[in-house]
A and B are shown apart, each in its own frame.
Chain A
Amino acid sequence: MTWAILLVLVAGFLVGRMLGQRGEKMGKILTVVGLFVLLFAMGMRLGGDRSIRTQLVSFGVAAFWFALASGIGAVAFAVLFERIARGRRSR
């Protein structure tokens, strides 16, 4: 799927360059529609899967803490590494 995503991204880029401003507008519409369907489908999977709801009871709290801790860690390190990258660049 990774390669498919990259290929489709490049295809969209080329089509967008050909279509100009019209392409940009179409791109915005496709992005919003695609994102909404994706979010809706993800929600449906979570809400409709009984086993996920069962897992939530037994692992939900621990899973949430893991998600939060790794998310906070990623943000903190990204801020730090951005400073390093930009600091080096400006010298």
Chain B
Amino acid sequence: MTLFVVAGLGLGVLFGFLGVFSLPEGCVDVALLVLVFGVGMELGRDRGSFLEVQTLGLRVLLLPLGAMAGSLVGALVLAFSTRFTVGESLAVASGFGWYSLSGVLLARLGNPSLGLLAFLSNVFREILALVNLEWVYQVFGGWAAVALGGATSMDTTLGVLSRVSKGKLVPLGVVSGVLHSLCVAPCIVFFSRFL
């Protein structure tokens, strides 16, 4: 799976750099919806995928809450060894992988250079998740794999999560991705304004 991810991304970077052709407008949205529809179809056959969410009940929320807390703690540790303030570091990490929103939001809040950093950092977070998801799942388990994807666990990384776990992690990925996505904007505004 990792090879598949690297090949897809690598070919894209190569063709993008060469500028041989461009993809039609809306292609990404269509591909995302096709991917999600396909994941849904696979889930339709496998009722066992929902067992974990059913058994855990509300405790399932510990996954996204823990993942978000961990992302912020990671950035907090980094804040002490970089030139960025605690508030700036936490705001950048609050993108949780959602690079388009975090970059634009921070730029609009009056800090364009921090917006650029957030954009790039969250692009890297998504790529890191896509490339490392398989071994993280094998070594640390399902929750760790979902957590690594952050907000992208309900879209871009959902396909990889589904493949490596044979569908088991899809409901967890959706729950985690939705909660992450809901928290991105409030966290960015809070950390960039009040810290």
In the complex, residue of chain B having the shortest beta-carbon distance to the beta carbon of A80: B66
B44 engages A27 (CB within 8 Å): yes
B31 engages A85 (CB within 8 Å): no
Task: Identify whether the interface residues of A are mostly helix, strand, loop, or mixed.
Answer: helix
Residue tally, chain B, CB below 8 Å to A: 96
Mask, B28-52, CB within 8 Å of A = 1, is 1101111111111111111000000
In the complex, residue of chain A having the shortest beta-carbon distance to the beta carbon of B21: A44
Residues of B within 8 A of A66 (CB): 75, 78, 89, 92-93, 117, 121, 124-125
| 17 additional contacts (CB under 8 A) given A38-B8, A85-B56 | A9-B174, A12-B44, A16-B43, A17-B44, A31-B42, A35-B8, A37-B34, A38-B156, A40-B8, A43-B11, A43-B13, A62-B117, A66-B89, A72-B70, A77-B67, A77-B70, A81-B62
**Chain B interface (Cβ within 8 Å of chain A)?**
4-5, 8-19, 22-23, 27-29, 31-46, 55-56, 59-60, 62-63, 65-75, 77-78, 82, 84, 89, 92-93, 96, 113, 116-117, 119-130, 132, 136, 140-144, 146-148, 150, 154-156, 159-160, 162-163, 174, 178, 181
